[in-house]
């Protein structure tokens, strides 16, 4: 293990522990401590981001390890922005902290390819906005899903949880659409087609369709109660798109195999 790898592991563990402690502190209403811990976690997380950028020499949005680290980095920022805009949703803070912790825990158990060579196709102005939009939307969808599940378990305050989840998804969804369509515009620049029915493309469309069903069903009186099912299905589709599509058979011909 090189010094840099040890350093990366240590700051990752610091970030994970800080996010977890911040989440716990928020639950026990220790606001000041919680904010400090969130800030510590975020700074450590930022260290991972800077380290990835420095080593590779390009914005670190290419490998799974890099993207998972980026997702974590966004939770605290989103928490601050959402709370600033919607003070009535301050109670969501622990969800953002635990949400930030999850991807980083994932990175601890995976090959942290310190150096990742960027394929020529990825050298495009669309690269950062495409991945960033997805990363941002995925981070929010994780929180929305956690809120929905906890709301379902608690039952009593279901309406509040359901509304909060919907607000978060409303912020997430345009970024998801933006990520998908910027990807299509990029595909036309690099491969000559906006859409090639590549498995990753199709599953990103399935995710968008599931969330579209959720938003539309929520506006139909008779469907409102069941609309949460679409949100849950959308989240499962999202996880499948992000993590599982690449392990399917016959995927070798996919244009997204380097992601």
Partner 1 sequence: MKLLKASVWIMAIIGVFLVIGSLCAAFGIWDSYHRSIFFIVAIVVFTIVLIICLVRCKFSLKKLGFYICHTGVLVIIVCSIVSALTLKETSFAIPVDPDSFYGEVQQNDGAFMEFGYYISVASFDVEKYDAEYCLYNSKTDFVEKNIVIETVSQNRNGIYDMGEYGTVSAVELKKDGEYVKYYTLENGYVLVKNEEIDKNYTAVFQIYDEGEIKKAELGVNKPYTYKGWKFYLMGYDTEGMQYVNLYVKNDPANIPFAVGMWMTIVGTFIECFLLIKPKGRDRL
CB of 70 to partner 1, least distance (A): 21
Q: Toward partner 1, which CB reaches closer, 105 or 251?
A: 251
CA 140 – CA 78 distance, rounded (Å)? 8
CA 23 – CA 101 distance, rounded (Å)? 9
29: contact with partner 1 by CB under 8 A: no
Tokens standing for 137? Answer: 């939307």
27: contact with partner 1 by CB under 8 A: no
Which backbone phi and psi does 40 adopt, to 5 degrees? -60, -45
CB of 17 to partner 1, least distance (A): 26
CA 160 – CA 238 distance, rounded (Å)? 24
Residues 191-250 binding partner 1 (CB under 8 A) are: 191-192, 194-195, 197, 199, 202-203, 205-206, 209-210, 212-213, 216-217, 219-223, 230, 237, 248-250
15: contact with partner 1 by CB under 8 A: no
Sign of CA dihedral 152, 158, 159, 160: negative
Supply the DSSP symbol for 240. I
108: contact with partner 1 by CB under 8 A: no
CB of 106 to partner 1, least distance (A): 22
**8 Å CB contact between 86 and 168:** no
Q: Toward partner 1, which CB reaches closer, 75 or 186?
A: 186
**8 Å CB contact between 64 and 259:** yes
Among 10, 108, 110, 117, binds partner 1 (CB under 8 A): 117
102: contact with partner 1 by CB under 8 A: no
CA 171 – CA 54 distance, rounded (Å)? 31
Q: Toward partner 1, which CB reaches closer, 109 or 247?
A: 247
CA 194 – CA 214 distance, rounded (Å)? 26
Over the window 130 to 169, marking each residue x when it contacts partner 1 by CB under 8 A and - when it does not, the resulting string is ---------------------------x--x------x--
Q: Toward partner 1, which CB reaches closer, 26 or 75?
A: 26
**Tokens 């981001």 -> residue:** 49
CA 12 – CA 112 distance, rounded (Å)? 11
HSE-CB of 73 using CA atoms within 13 angstroms: 22
Which residues are near partner 1 by CB under 8 A? 1-4, 54-55, 57, 85-91, 114-115, 117-121, 123-125, 157, 160, 167, 170-171, 173-174, 177-178, 181-182, 184-186, 188-192, 194-195, 197, 199, 202-203, 205-206, 209-210, 212-213, 216-217, 219-223, 230, 237, 248-251
């Amino acid at each position: 293990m090189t010094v840099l790898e040890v350093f990366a592991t240590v700051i990752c563990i610091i970030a994970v522990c800080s996010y977890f402690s911040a989440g716990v502190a928020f639950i026990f209403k220790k606001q000041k401590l919680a904010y400090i811990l969130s800030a510590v976690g975020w700074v450590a997380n930022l260290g991972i981001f800077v380290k990835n950028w420095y080593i590779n020499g390009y914005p670190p949005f290419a490998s799974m390890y890099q993207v998972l680290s980026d997702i974590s980095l966004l939770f605290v920022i989103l928490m601050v922005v959402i709370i600033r805009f919607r003070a009535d949703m301050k109670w969501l803070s622990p969800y953002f902290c635990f949400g930030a912790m999850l991807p980083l825990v994932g990175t601890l158990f995976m090959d942290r390819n310190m150096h990742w060579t960027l394929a020529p196709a990825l050298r495009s102005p669309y690269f950062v906005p495409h991945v960033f939009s997805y990363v941002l939307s995925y981070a929010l969808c994780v929180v929305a899903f956690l809120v929905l599940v906890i709301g379902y378990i608690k039952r009593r305050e279901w309406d509040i949880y359901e509304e909060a989840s919907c607000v978060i998804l409303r912020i997430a969804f345009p970024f998801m659409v933006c990520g998908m369509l910027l990807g299509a515009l990029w595909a036309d620049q690099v491969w000559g087609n906006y859409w090639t029915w590549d498995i990753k493309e199709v599953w990103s469309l399935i995710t968008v369709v599931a969330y579209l069903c959720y938003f539309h069903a929520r506006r139909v009186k008779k469907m409102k109660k069941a609309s949460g099912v679409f949100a849950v299905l959308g989240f499962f589709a999202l996880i499948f798109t992000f993590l599982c599509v690449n392990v399917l058979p016959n995927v070798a011909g996919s244009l997204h195999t380097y992601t």
